Structure 1
């Protein structure tokens, strides 16, 4: 390998045939292979000399300028950009004033809905990607995505409005690949039809940024509109679909010559799960600690967390998609069990080293994670330059045919199998931790408003935990002479232990106070956590979108209450359809409870910590439909759903 002292890592030295990445780099710089930063500089130098007339571009939803950098490096002249978030705009203006980027562009801060494009110069092309939350993975995990029904998802209409005014030759629209499946395919159809109605031929395709020289697997939907012939997407420059299968740019190569972080300058990784990161093999995440991976102490359920939870980057491959924000356990983490520095994150997103991103660490991470990687944008921009404006490139850039299939999904599956093997190898030498002795306990506790339990010797709620090797029993009383009201029994359907050697868990109520139902579930959960058995009840049950094999039985005694909501709790426990979105009428018919009474009970259950969702808590859920993810209360002080309401006005 060759390394330029102050620049980024080069790849290889060997000369290669025409149209390989080596040949492209050689034609624009005389150097066999360039890192992304140097590639950008070389293309910019070539374009400055080759383009006789400016090709003007307007950028919508510019963010921190990733897409804009790529197009400017390829020779386009940014005449105007618009971005809603002030911090992002400050970043672009700072780099403009430093003299390296965006020259005399008019960089605007404001809502696209109020944007009126300047008409002082002919605009040849428009670029931009509206906010993607409406089509994102987070939305899909919440039982679908809002798509174009959401305020942010409908911003494409503003894109259309600007195109109608500017009448450019074409445009490039970037978004997450989840847009294709949003609203069962209706979202992409609405968007494509809207662009076609104003006179554009539309081409769209999902591409992985890693296939174009970015050290990050980042699948994105690219839509290109043309007034003439349909646009052809560039063939990958890296990976198995590239000429001579030129290797992907690895995370290690991207950051190898970045200065090491100073001690104490990075956020610490601690809390409940921070210590687990050391055990995670590079390339894996929390799933290392699941039964499916073969871990002897599986505290998590398979696919119960986002894939970036405790995700540790593999140095020999591109990383997974960088996120704009996340919790304290959101990766990627460095393979040295630390956070990446800001300069390393810039490299992983291919921002130039001399591009300053303003703000504190959280603001910088948000700007980087929301951006289109500039190296990906450069290759797309060169394709636009060649096809829309007949600019002859100094190398032959090959294009994909409609029937060409790319390999990134297959590669993802192969990588998953490789990581399974890696986990198996690591765990082959992993000794099962000795089990703590679990003994009888008595608690006097109370339940807080945000569903946290805490010890309180003055409380009249007493819980007794009676464990044996094969059975756990939790009993709740408010007075000594109370009789048993209800009992909940948990067992595995396949006659396997629930955990360790425990075959059954019984929750026994000597009380008819509704909130006590939550208290006993929370004590059970706390016991699982304290003994390092499961991270929470969801990990025992499994993520709600996947089938589980636990039976929940509700057993009444002679002293049961007449309160109808307890009947609903029984029905929820034995309902096999819990975890599915259903119309309120389906719930009503199935439970033989009137719609009005059922709605009242839903509000009662929300008050004791049940996570019940509808169109007001999650816009992606259709009106009058409801989702009860779990058969037990799951709201905690950290739950996103805690501050949401089933009512439209909160």
Structure 2
């Protein structure tokens, strides 16, 4: 089976799937090319399923800037309009809604592609979408609309540290497939909680992964975040190397790093920031705005388990009860 990835970025989702990625940003395209990933340099709005007739899987992570709490929030205020537009699309009606920020409407593109494929008589066998958690309302609406087209759908907010990513990052995901039921992947690692030891928690799960375990630094360190927490720029977040990183954003290279005595240390390199997103240490970051590429990417480890969930056959409830 072949896949097409919308808003493909530098390759977070595609490392697990080798999808043909559509990406408009020249810098992310440069990284993809250097990594050997199949790439179309263009705008997803200019393409559709007919342009990729061999693709049987659809994946995508639409731009999050207007939805994230770190942004101005025009996408969050437009959620009702997005849901209304999605319903019109599913009814095969013309959508006339105009959004304040052009990027907000891009969250509707995966639905356009999915419905177009259905109307062509070649529906995608699986669909994988991920975004910031503020988009959960949209994915929940998509679930209803895709179910009406014959899909089995699961949606929810996942914590990346529970899948081995050395970073606390919440992502809203949608998994859909035609062949049968699908469920969100079960966590493999314990959730991180401030002040709770790595050794504490469910013994059936692995401990979360700390920054110090994946970064080759000579001394323990503390990261002082480059952005405010809770919307207050005066409230700087702090994490030690014995903890997972906070959410990696496009401003990751601005984070200050000090040793435990307060002495300034080198800031994160691109390779280190990539490792915190679970990219390989030797990933060939290219072009400009590399920090932004990294911050916008889907962690490959998370993508891998999501692809696995779409490939797995969920056990019926009776089997689970018997196993217990």
Confirm or deny a common fold (TM above 0.5). yes
Change (3 A) 1:253 1:227: same
Deviation at 1:224? 0.9
1:305 counterpart residue number: 232
2:153 and 2:176 in contact (8 A); partners too: yes
Listed as ranges, the gaps of 5+ residues in structure 1 are 1-54, 73-77, 97-101, 261-280, 288-299, 389-397, 401-650
Deviation at 1:177? 0.3
Q: CA RMSD in A?
A: 3.4
Change (3 A) 1:306 1:371: farther
2:163 counterpart residue number: 212
Are residues 1:334 and 2:266 paired? no
Deviation at 1:306? 4.4
1:178 counterpart residue number: 134
Are residues 1:156 and 2:84 paired? no
Q: Tell which structure's C-alpha radius of gyration is larger.
A: 1
1:566 counterpart residue number: none
Deviations 1:343-402 (A, max 9, x none): 211111111123201134xx11001000011111112222222239xxxxxxxxx999xx
Q: TM-score, normalised by structure 2?
A: 0.74
Change (3 A) 1:198 1:134: farther
Aligned residues: 278
Deviation at 1:236? 1.1
1:169 counterpart residue number: 125
Q: How does 1:304-323 map onto structure 2 within 5 Å?
A: 305-306=232-233, 310-323=236-249
Structure that is richer in strand per residue: 2
Deviation at 1:92? 0.6
1:204 and 1:224 in contact (8 A); partners too: yes
Listed as ranges, the gaps of 5+ residues in structure 2 are 83-98, 192-200, 318-324
Deviations 1:442-488 (A, max 9, x none): xxxxxxxxxxxxxxxxxxxxxxxxxxxxxxxxxxxxxxxxxxxxxxx
1:247 counterpart residue number: 207
Match 2:34 to one of 68, 80, 94: 94
Are residues 1:203 and 2:126 paired? no
1:139 and 1:146 in contact (8 A); partners too: no
1:57 and 1:125 in contact (8 A); partners too: yes
Deviation at 1:335? 4.0
1:59 and 1:82 in contact (8 A); partners too: yes
Change (3 A) 1:237 1:118: same
Equivalent-residue separation in structure 2 for 1:119 and 1:141 (angstroms): 33
Change (3 A) 1:139 1:354: closer
Deviation at 1:203? 1.1
Higher relative contact order (CA 8 A, sep 6+): 2
**Paired residue secondary structure (1:221):** strand
Deviations 1:548-593 (A, max 9, x none): xxxxxxxxxxxxxxxxxxxxxxxxxxxxxxxxxxxxxxxxxxxxxx
Q: TM-score, normalised by structure 1?
A: 0.39
Equivalent-residue separation in structure 2 for 1:128 and 1:112 (angstroms): 10
